Amino acid sequence: MESDNLEFNNRVPLEELKMAVESIKNELGKVIVGQEEFIDLLIAALLADGHVLIEGVPGIAKTVTAKLFAKVLKTDFSRIQFTPDLMPSDVLGTSILNMKTSDFEFKSGPIFSNVILIDEINRAPAKTQAALFETMEERQATIDGHTYKFEDPFMVLATQNPIEQEGTYALPEAQLDRFIFKVKVDYPQLEDEIKIIETHHQRKGEKPHTLIESIIDTKQLADFKEKTQQILVEEKIIRYIAELVTKTRNHSHLYLGGSPRASIAILNAAKAFAAMSGRDFVTPEDVKRAVKPVLNHRIILTPEREMEGLSTERVLDMIIQSIEVPR
């Protein structure tokens, strides 16, 4: 955008934040090739204090990108491989009897971390999926009548494979709604594929995570999140967001539209995009950029349109084109 290059005095100091974002991109660029939008969305979700659902076929670096993204943050990281026999206690933790004191002591599970990578989230049954509801929304877990708060930051990155449906469970709409973004990761272009092969060859067997340095710590991140929340949003931008989301609820091609949580997610994402550009105000372009990753997992096509092969992204394009952009 042209406004990114203009000189103006920000009411919110964003220079340090913008520099940190560039550093994160450069650091991940040492290993990750051709996934610029994916990385941008991960950073935006981090600033907006949201979780990300990552969908794509196996072998396109979904898990590697998520792990390296956690590495650029000086935070704790844990990985949970979801399987059909995974129980809620395997995720949350459990109370264990201490033989010395004869008291039960809580042993926390892998969800008690800062950045949590859940691999193949759609492989676990409904009972384990339900265990994530409270953790993702309220940043806490209630076990045996006790509530345990999570430390900031708390971010869930979950991957799922859209092709192999055998032995998978569809995520409930209420859980999908708790992800700020659903990112669809595609196969790389030919030139990117060549670069991927070349960089792998040049590493000579060196593991990707050894090449990545940590960029920001939890204190800096908390400061950046606070600055992101202070981004200016004009009344006409708020109305624009509301019109976009409301249109999904009465569109002839859609069976289910976006909730007010979706509207707030677009607002938070648009603020994050503005902050990443070094702007202290949201533009309609920031809103447009947020619409698809925020809404593509929250809306459901009518059965007729789904049979015709229409995509949620195409319907969202129609909605964006049908609503007048504020000036």
Q: What is the pLDDT of residues 265-289, one digit of tens each?
A: 999 999 999 999 999 999 999 999 9
More confident residue, 175 or 313: 313
Contact 212, 302 (CB under 8 A): no
List alpha helices for 234-283, DSSP H. 235-249, 260-276
pLDDT of 323 over the 50 cut: yes
pLDDT of 264 over the 60 cut: yes
Ranges of CATH 1.10.8.80 domains, the chain:
231-327
Instruction: Point out the least confidently predicted range of 34-43, 82-91, 198-207, 269-278.
Output: 198-207
- Determine the pLDDT at residue 111: 94
pLDDT of 4 over the 80 cut: no
> 8-19, pLDDT tens digit by residue?
567 878 999 999
**At 296, which amino acid appears?**
N
pLDDT of 50 over the 80 cut: yes
Q: How far is residue 271's CA from residue 48's CA, in Å, rounded to a whole number?
A: 8
> 70-81, pLDDT tens digit by residue?
899 988 899 999
Q: In DSSP terms, which residues pair with 97 in a beta bridge?
A: 104
- 164 confidence band (pLDDT: 50, 70, 90): low
What crossing angle do the helices spanning 260-276 and 284-295 adopt, rounded to 10°?
A: 130
Residues 6+ apart with CB under 8 A from 148: 106, 108, 112, 140, 141, 142
More confident residue, 295 or 160: 295
What is the average per-residue pLDDT within 285-299?
96
Q: In DSSP terms, which residues pair with 300 in a beta bridge?
A: 256
- Determine the pLDDT at residue 13: 86
> Is-cis flag, bond preceding 125, omega within 30?
no
N-to-C CA span, the chain: 15
CATH architecture of residue range(s) 23-216: 3-Layer(aba) Sandwich (3.40)
Q: How far is residue 47's CA from residue 24's CA, in Å, rounded to a whole number?
A: 13
- 5 confidence band (pLDDT: 50, 70, 90): very low
> 184-214, pLDDT tens digit by residue?
988 888 998 998 898 888 888 787 777 888 9
Instruction: Point out the least confidently predicted range of 127-131, 165-169, 317-321.
Output: 165-169
Please give the share of the chain, as a percent, with pLDDT higher than 70: 96
Residue with tokens 């964006």: 320
Ranges of CATH 3.40.50.300 domains, the chain:
23-216
b/e per residue 5-29 (b: at least 16 CB within 10 A): eeeeeeebebeebbebbeebbebbe
Tell me the two tokens of residue 90. Answer: 């395997």
pLDDT of 102 over the 90 cut: no
DSSP 8-class letter at 252: T
Cβ neighbours of 219 (radius 10 Å): 9
Q: What's the CATH number of domain 231-327, 3.20.20.20, 1.10.8.80, 2.170.150.70, 3.30.1510.10?
A: 1.10.8.80
- Determine the pLDDT at residue 165: 64
Listing DSSP states for 189-229 in one string gives PHHHHHHHHHHHHHHTT--GGGGPPP-EEHHHHHHHHHHHH
pLDDT of 23 over the 50 cut: yes
- Determine the pLDDT at residue 257: 94
pLDDT of 7 over the 60 cut: no
What is the average per-residue pLDDT within 157-178?
80
